[in-house]
């Protein structure tokens, strides 16, 4: 009771301008966090319709990614960004800021409407919840985009589960059951059905299996199953699917870091800040330093933190004097070319937040374990440290906490250095000069700072049940297949040999890779007809094209536009696509 009261008071103090400071505090960072927290909450609320000053024209409760309408145009609402933003706001609400309740209720109403909007990813019943973004007036966005993106429903389920649990514990069971659960239920059903299918990653560039998506899915299924039980509802497939997801998550561990995108040929190392964002999103204050769920203090998460941060040290001029063991500006991934590839505010802040969360976990469990996996991380900060377990009363424990606290604060100091005097956050800061770059007043940047401020103050979210869901099954099980057999047929391809292929926007069609295209065979009955049968998950919207490859490697694509189709409904169903070469 006493600890909970302190957490509530600290949260209230945060918005009154008195930031709770950790041991070994840095007074300059204290002042910056105090000031920037005020700016950031205002920045978030300004970007939420209908009364946000930078969100005029957006529907109530809708999060506008940025007021920027050109170079880049972010005048849309992303399911992912919105859920992550509202997760922060709901945590603030739980910690004492009850002024946010209207905004939360408007968000629920907006998401209820969006879940019913058919879009290029599908209908509400056939994959439409995986559509990444919508117009701010809650209508579908029909332009070309990387779709589907399967993290949005899981993230939204998590944000609303936090709120539903609060309602239940504060006399609002009926509201949780009748207003919030229907949204969560649809998102959980989507997650159960689609977690084992590929989709676009957090950065909307890679179509494969994403660590961030799978981590979010595991958490949502665990806490969703518990909420269903609390409300007397049913979600049996949530409990069955969660360990399957957890088992698959172990596939991303590369030995000393997390390979953030697998089952795709992306030409990258896989060292990606999305793995750090995953660790802080799935942080559970009641958890141990569990490797299987990549908790912030786990050996795997710490080793990965080092690998990801180190990958940016030599490529950004702003990091020229920032050596190993010193905080650095962090981008998305080292191979990034978007706007020239730069550090981001939210990824640099995520590096700090993981460390603050780890400190909380170490203090709560009363010890720090240094093993072979985490040793390089600790040696960067304390070169003479050795493998062992250090209790909270030891000098080594205190030295580690002090060093990691300073390390985390210095990531915040990097952000401070490149934040304008008015506290406004863009998306990125330029890799050479540190000047703000890309979308102005990015909502996600502001929301990220609020999360960092809370973790630094020792304010943590409710547990999502990690301790009862961190055991990895001895044998991994895939989700039950529900495929449709599609026969691709193309007439009059200008070839004389068996070198006609089909490629497309989904993994089953090689993710547009000519090298891995699916070969068609000449028909026995029609010389000019080429066919192939491909199993594709049912009710899946996809784009495709036929190509010709010659023996010397030359690839000829048929003319635009891309062809578009939907696999047939029902497990074991079949359909045929009858095309002519263009």
What does the buried/exposed string (b/e) look like for 71-104 if buried means 16 or more CB atoms within 10 Å of the residue's CB? eeebbbbbbbbbbbbbbbbbbbbbbbbeebeebb
Phi (first) and psi of residue 545, to 5 degrees: -150, 155
Determine whether 492 is an active site residue.
no
Positive or negative CA dihedral for 80, 82, 85, 90? negative
Per residue, what are the HEC states of 148-159? CCCHHHHHHHHH
Report which of 348, 467, 524, 473 is spatially closest to residue 419, judged by C-alpha positions. Answer: 348
296 near 235, Cβ under 8 Å? no
- Cα–Cα distance, 199 to 216 (Å, whole number): 14
What b-and-e string marks burial along 30-50, b requiring 16 or more CB atoms within 10 Å of the CB? bebbeebbbbbbebbbbbbbe
Q: Count of CB atoms within 10 A of residue 70's CB?
A: 7
Are the CB atoms for 456 and 30 separated by under 8 Å? no
- Residues in CB range of 254: below 8 A, 6 or more apart: 270
Is 106 among the residues known to form the active site? Answer: no
Does 253 count as an annotated binding residue? no
Of the residues 187, 201, 272, 353, which is catalytic?
A: 201
Starting from the edge strand earliest in sequence, which strands make up the sheet with 573-580, in order?
521-522, 529-537, 483-491, 573-580
Cα dihedral 477→479→484→487 (10° resolution): -50
**What is d(CA 362, CA 423) in angstroms, rounded to the nearest whole number?**
32
Choice among 105, 175, 204, 205 that is catalytic: 204
Q: Which residues are annotated as a binding site?
A: 145
Residues belonging to the active site: 201, 204
Q: Which residues are annotated as a binding site for substrate?
A: 145
């Amino acid at each position: 009771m006493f600890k909970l009261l302190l957490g509530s008071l600290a949260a209230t103090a945060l918005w009154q301008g008195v930031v709770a400071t950790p041991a070994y505090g840095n007074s300059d960072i204290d002042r910056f966090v105090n000031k920037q927290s005020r700016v950031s909450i205002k920045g978030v609320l300004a970007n939420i319709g209908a009364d946000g000053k930078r969100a005029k024209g957006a529907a109530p409760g809708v999060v506008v990614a940025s007021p920027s309408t050109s170079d880049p145009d972010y005048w849309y609402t992303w399911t992912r960004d919105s859920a992550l933003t509202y997760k922060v706001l709901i945590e603030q609400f739980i910690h004492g800021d009850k002024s946010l309740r209207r905004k939360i209720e408007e968000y629920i109403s907006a998401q209820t409407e969006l879940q019913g909007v058919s879009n290029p990813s599908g209908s509400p019943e056939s994959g439409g919840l995986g559509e990444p973004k919508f117009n701010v007036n809650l209508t579908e966005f029909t332009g070309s985009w990387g779709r589907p993106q399967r993290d949005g429903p899981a993230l939204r389920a998590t944000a609303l589960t936090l709120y539903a649990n609060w309602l239940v514990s504060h006399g609002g069971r009926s509201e949780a059951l009748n207003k919030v659960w229907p949204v969560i239920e649809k998102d959980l059903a989507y997650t159960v059905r689609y977690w084992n299918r590929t989709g676009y990653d957090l950065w909307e560039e890679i179509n494969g299996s994403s660590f961030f998506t799978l981590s979010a899915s595991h958490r949502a299924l665990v806490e969703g199953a518990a909420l269903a039980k609390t409300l007397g509802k049913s979600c049996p497939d949530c409990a069955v699917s969660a360990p399957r997801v957890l088992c698959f998550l172990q596939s991303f561990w590369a030995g000393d870091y997390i390979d953030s995108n697998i089952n795709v040929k992306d030409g990258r190392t896989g060292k990606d800040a999305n793995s750090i964002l995953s660790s802080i999103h799935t942080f559970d204050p009641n958890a141990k330093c569990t490797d299987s769920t990549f908790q912030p203090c786990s050996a795997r998460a710490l080793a990965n933190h080092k690998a990801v941060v180190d990958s940016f040290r030599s490529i950004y001029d702003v990091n020229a004097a920032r050596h190993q063991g010193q905080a650095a500006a962090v981008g998305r991934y080292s191979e990034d070319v978007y706007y020239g590839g730069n550090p981001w505010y939210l990824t640099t802040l995520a590096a700090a937040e993981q460390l603050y969360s780890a400190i909380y976990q170490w203090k709560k469990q009363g010890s720090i374990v240094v093993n072979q996996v985490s040793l390089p991380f600790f040696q960067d900060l304390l070169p003479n440290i050795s493998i062992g377990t250090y209790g909270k009363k030891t000098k080594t424990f205190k030295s580690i906490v002090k060093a990691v606290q300073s390390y985390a604060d210095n990531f915040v100091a990097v952000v401070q250095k490149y934040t304008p005097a008015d506290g406004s956050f863009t998306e990125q800061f330029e890799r050479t000069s540190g000047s703000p770059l890309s979308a102005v007043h990015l909502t996600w940047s502001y929301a990220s700072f609020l999360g960092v401020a809370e973790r630094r103050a020792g304010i943590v979210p409710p547990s999502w049940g990690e301790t009862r869901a961190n055991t990895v099954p001895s044998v991994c099980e895939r989700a039950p297949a529900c495929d449709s057999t599609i026969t691709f047929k193309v007439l009059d391809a200008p070839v004389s040999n068996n070198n006609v292929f089909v490629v497309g926007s989904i993994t089953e069609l090689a993710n547009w890779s000519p090298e891995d295209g699916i070969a068609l065979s000449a028909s026995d009955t029609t010389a000019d007809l080429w066919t192939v049968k491909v199993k594709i998950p049912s009710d899946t919207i996809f784009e495709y094209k036929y190509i010709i490859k010659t023996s010397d490697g030359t690839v000829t694509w048929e003319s635009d536009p891309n062809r578009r189709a939907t696999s047939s409904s029902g497990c074991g169903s079949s359909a045929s696509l009858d095309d002519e070469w263009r």
